[in-house]
Each structure stands twice: as C-alpha cells, then as structure tokens.
A and B are shown apart, each in its own frame.
Chain A
Amino acid sequence: MALLEVEHLDVRFPLRHGEIRAVRDVSFALERGERLGVVGESGAGKSALAFSLLKLLSRPGYIAGGHVRFEGRELTTLSDRQLRRIRGNRVAMIFQDPLTTLNPVLTIGRQMTESLKAHRRVSERRARAIALHKLRQVQVSSPEQRFEQYPHQLSGGLCQRVVIAIALLLDPDIIIADEPTTALDVTTQAEIIALLTQLCDKHNVGLIVISHDLGVIGQLTQRLLVMYAGRIVEQGPTREIINDAQHPYTQGLINALPQMTLPRQRLAQIPGNMPSLARVPDGCAFHPRCRYRFTPQGRLRQACVEQVPEAVSSGGSQVACHWVRELITTVPIEEETT
C-alpha cells in the first residue's frame, strides 16, 4: 500500500456562471520518501489538486468525487476536527510566497511553537528548543535572534527556510509544496531546492512539488505528473519524461524551454492558450492546440474531438493521448469520413 493514494479525484468550484472543474479524474500514488512533481501551466488545476488533498480548498471549492487515502485512511470523508490532527502534523504544506504565508503580526518563534503545541503536549521551553533545532537544520543563521523577529525583518529566502522548518517541525510523512520557489530569485531558488531534496532524503519524507517550472521539477523530483485542463495527461519517471516526452503537450512544454547549447533562435511555443476550466473542449482537452489531431493525410482524428483519451503505457510512462495509442498499437483510430 502506498503512503498516499489518490483515485479518480474530482474537484469543482460552483460559480454563478457555471461550474469550474479544476481537477478531473486524477489518480496517482506516492510512496514513502518519494518525490513527486506536478507540472502544468497556470490554471491547469495544480494548486486545486494540492489543496484538495487536505481539504483546504477555498470556498466554494469542494471534492465532488474520488478518494484520497493516507496510510489507507480515507481523508475525503473526515471531519474538520479529524483532519486537523493530520494537517501540519503528518502532512505539512509549503506555500508559494513566504512573505505572505507567515503572519506579519506574530513572531517567527510564536508561529513555530504554536504549530508544535497544536499537535503535541510540550512545554514552552521544549517547543522553543525543537524550533531552534529545526531552524538550524534549514541553515538559518543566528536562530535565537530570528526566533524573536517578525517575518518582515527577514528576506524572502530566509522566510521560506522558516516555512520549511515549520513543515519539518513535527516530522511529517509528506510535505506538499505549492510553487515553493516561484516567489524567490534564481540563486535562492537553487539553495531552497537543494535544501528540500536533502532534508526529504534525510528524514525519508514524501514530497509533492507543484510547479510550472520544469527546471525546478527536474531537479527536485523522481516522478512527474503533467496536468492539462484539470487532467493528468502524462505521468512517469521525471528523467524519462524530460528526455523523451510522449504526450504532444509535454513535448511542447519541453520544447519551449530555452536551450543554451543551441544557436540563438526563436523560442518554441505551443499555439493558442490553455482553455478556461469553465469551458474545456470536448474530447481531448488539448486537441485545439495539438498538431497531431490531423492524420498524416490531413484528416481530423474523430477520436481527438469526441473522446477523452484513456491513459496507455508507453515507455515507462502513462500517457493519455489518442495519437500515442495509435503509434503503440498501430491500430489506426477512426478517421473522419467525408
């Protein structure tokens, strides 16, 4: 049994102008100590996925179906009180912007010790000792001084280290990091990534990293989910996906990365924009932007327009694409007859 199992997860935001389906039929598993990346453009449902795991969706978002099992225990049906024992304790979170994540009017020390005290019976002294120890672990300089300071007195990178220290405070089994380095400058990014990898390995913590940055994901994770319009379009070992992407969307993402080794040229881009989650096209959501929706003969593949593709194994990955399926099985999918 995997540490965390997600099955057919379905997250919706009922709004006045119709329902947004942020996460559709998402399934994956996370093993103890494994580092998993979730990548996709803005609005692909990555953050909704991250927050739904602990039922922390902002109103009016809710889980409309599916399962989230942590150590075999179903989380989607737990009450808030029961979830509270897991949040921050067994499953910790790291948010995007460290400067807005920490409460500006409370000291670093107070926010650390309150997290400890929310889950464990510890004395103020003991809580302080644990907090200082964790601050040292994330290489915060002069932790005693930081302990008394307010978030605005610290730099962004330092704040994110504090947030990581808070995440590690209760020795969790999983850390969910939603764009942990997006708000930081590039050099700080590298440090934070190194720190996260090292600490997760050391404490055997499972890590789920949400990011739109393939560079971050590539360095940080062992396995990768690629999301598009609320669905997983490809999942597999990170190295394999980056070296040999199967899904046309993933290929597009990787081609769009700037490459220093090639002579200067226009960056590749995927034509069009990701659809709004309120108006996802029928069939394969990517088909309006996909050049493989046409056969080599120039005919439209009917399946791409009409049918949601099911995942097939290709190489080491699971890919949800009619074209890939056709390549593997060499059974031509139905073509439009005109």
Chain B
Amino acid sequence: MTFTVAPMPPLTVDAAAPSRLTQFELDFATKRRQARRNWAIGTLVLVSLFAFSAWIGDFFKITQVTMPDGAREWRWIIPAGLPRLGEYVSQTLPTLRWDSFWSDFGAWFWRWKTWLKLLWETVLIAFMATTFGVVGGFLLSFPAARNLSPNKWVLWLTRRLLEITRTVPDIVWALIFVFCFSVGPMAGVLAIGTHACGALGKLYSEVNENIDMRPLEGVKAAGGTWFDQIRYGAVPQVLPNIISYTLLRFEINVRSSSIIGYVGAGGLGQEFRTAMSFQEYTDLSALFLIILATVIVIDYGSEKLRHKMIGMEDRP
C-alpha cells in the first residue's frame, strides 16, 4: 500500500509575529482590568445591600435597658439582648444532682412513655409523607423538565402546580388539612407530603434537565413512545440522584413532622404546645434532646445508605 503525505507549511516566524504578541498583551491587560473593576463593583453592591438589610432588620437599633442598679440606659440591642438568651435556655434546663441523678433524670423525662409513642408517630408521618412526595414529585418531574416535556402547556401547568405545593409551607398546609380532616396524624402526612411533592418535583426536574438526550433519541428511533423514552432513556440516568434526594428529604420531613403537631397535625409537636402552655420549661429541653437524637440517628443512617448506593454505582 502506497501513500503520499501532503507537504506541510514550513514552521517559520514571520515578521508580523512580534506585533501580534504585543496586541495579545494589550488585550489581556484590558481584560484583566475589566475583571478587577467588575469584582470591586460587585463586592461594593453586595456589602451595601447587606448593610441596608441589616439596618431595616433592626440590627443597629439602640434600645433602653435596665442596669443592675435600676438605672435605665440606652444600649445597642445585640449586647443588650444576648444575656436573655442564656436566661431562657437556663429556664429549660433541669436540676440534676449527683446523689439523686436517676430520680432527677426520671423527673426530667417524666412523660417518656407518651413521648416515645409520639416519636414513633412522628417518624411514621415522615415516612408516609416522603412516599407520597416521592411518587408525586417523580411523576411530575418529567413533564416539568424543559427538555422532556411533551409541550409547553404541560410544562407550564406542571411547573405552576409544583410551585404552589412547594411555596405554601408545610405548617400552613397542616392548618388547612387539620381544618378539613380534623386533628390527627393524617393531616400531617398530607401536609408534609404535599410540600415534599413540590420540593422534590423541582429537584428531580432539575436532575432531568441535565441528562444526556442521546439514549432517548435511541429509544425514539426504535419506535418508542414518549413514555418509553422516559422509562428507558431517562429514568436509569436519574435514578441515583433521585434516591439521594429522597433520603435527604426523609431527614427534612422528620424535622418537619416533629413540629407539625404544634397545629394539631400529629406527632411530637403537640407536646411543645402543651409544655409551653403549662410552663413546663424543662420538658422543652427534654423534647429537644429526643428530636436531636432522632435526627442524628436518621441523618447518620441515611448518609450510610446513600454512600453505599453511590459505592454500588461505581462498580460495573
């Protein structure tokens, strides 16, 4: 087999080269100057906006405080108010003595039977709400993705639907559902589920918008429907992200369901209300510890699960 190679142009430096390099240096310097100026302007705007918001938000307020000797004086609000935080926290702390530790501890967690039952209810509310949210958000995330939506009307409609469910906070949904279905965990499940559907649908649809469209074209070219393209081309690509976001949402939902009882929608939250109205401040710290422990356990567990799944992904 014979072949010829087309002659290459010789590698010489022509006379115009030095001026081209000088021109580059000039352009580069201009570009750098512009970048620096833009950065300076951006920083200035950000700092002034922040300062303005802080001023509107009373961060610079001067208030009258009572001094230990009874005199009234004008002080900046932040150092004046901070001690009161300690005052509140110390009110919620129980008295624990070394020689009577267990009876003191028992008195602190005196309602532990009710609390554990409500904690169990709280986790179940979060679980059911996450399931509803995942199913709804998953189904809506495909028509709500710009690259996958069958047409712009469906896109517009699903996006607005997700926005409405997401924008209304779950505590407000809880108020509405308690009004409809009376006090109890069902209202909580619906409230958190509705909000989670909107939040997850948005996250999932953003995942959908970042996928590789070529597999979908491959399914389409073989005679697949829109549903086939989604099922075979899109779902396998987005599944790891969907699982990850779902576990994250479960953690968030446990936090939500522990407060939602405040408006009567089931779970531990109702105990906060009871404790506050009966001025049982030490109950608040006990409840806080229970929720903190639960959230830590669930965070840890779901993180392990997520990493395990990501690890499984890497293996062929």
Physical interaction between A and B: no
Residues of A at the B interface (CB closer than 8 Å) are: none
